Amino acid sequence: MPESHIVAMGGGGFSMEPENPLLDDFVLGLARRRKRPRVCFLGTASGDSDTYVRRFHEAFSPSRADATHLRFFERTVRDLRAFLLEQDVIYVGGGSTANALAIWRLHRLDRILRAAWHSGVVMTGISAGAICWFEDGLTDSFGMPYRALNEGLGFIRGACCPHYDGEPARRAVLRRLVARGFKSTYAADDGVALHFVGSRLKEAVSSRPKARAFRVHRRGTEVLETPIPVRYLGQWS
């Protein structure tokens, strides 16, 4: 059976660090096809933003990958399953996680994504594109303040919180939720990606030397932030 990979980025990648390709190159290195892998961008969470789609193609085309995208607000792909199972990487952009999940489920894309994941297509994304793979997450999909997402795709057990250092209010809200019984949560700073093989965390990698990751969970009445070792992908200066 092919290995199933998920790379959940707390922040970074082409949309946040256009001059720093370390996380995106890490993802491409996991693809089944190493020479010009097929990479499909899902910008559903941003309403298929033309600017976001264009920036994706600028970052990945033509030398790094065979880049394409899938729109739902102007859908042209008829056979979603065949189209996505032909890809090597599915890259989910940031935005409203809740809106993306609702649209995907309407088109039954949730089932297709799971089939693609099991077939060896690498699943990745930033922010909403990180949260969506988990059972739950901390989101601003419903406006502020942050709140629990509920009903993620559930490929990985527990919850995800991106931008743990980049949006400081997230930490306080997450700790309150966990104290009240919220699921154990993977929290990732901007520049950190959590790499899962199957549904198990293999490692955390980063595009920034001091970026961190944690497992935020409750033990008794205490909320703990257990550090996850992070491997910096660049050269130490």
Cα torsion 109, 111, 116, 118 to 10°: value is 160
Average of per-residue pLDDT across 98-109: 97
159-185 per-position pLDDT tens digit: 999 999 999 899 999 999 999 999 999
What pLDDT is recorded for position 106?
Answer: 96
Least confident among 61-65, 80-84, 180-184: 61-65
Task: Please check whether residue 169 is in contact with residue 134, taking contact to mean a CB–CB distance below 8 angstroms.
Answer: no
- Cβ neighbours around 1 below 10 Å, total: 7
What pLDDT is recorded for position 62?
Answer: 82
- 27: three-class secondary structure by DSSP: helix
Average of per-residue pLDDT across 79-91: 97
CA angle 141/161/191 to nearest 5° reads: 110
For the chain, what's the residue count? 237
What pLDDT is recorded for position 34?
Answer: 83
Average of per-residue pLDDT across 38-44: 98
Structure tokens at 213: 């990751």
What pLDDT is recorded for position 61?
Answer: 82
What ranges do the domains of the chain cover? 5-232
Token look-up 């290995």 returns: 3
What pLDDT is recorded for position 129?
Answer: 98
More reliable by pLDDT, 1 or 113:
113
What pLDDT is recorded for position 237?
Answer: 41
CA distance linking residue 178 with residue 122, whole number of Å: 30
Average of per-residue pLDDT across 15-44: 95
> How large a percentage of the chain has pLDDT more than 70?
99
CA 107 to chain centre: 20
Token look-up 């969506």 returns: 132
**Domain over 5-232 is classified CATH 3.40.50.720:** no
Average of per-residue pLDDT across 70-89: 95
| Residues involved in catalysis | 127, 163
Structure tokens at 87: 């890809």
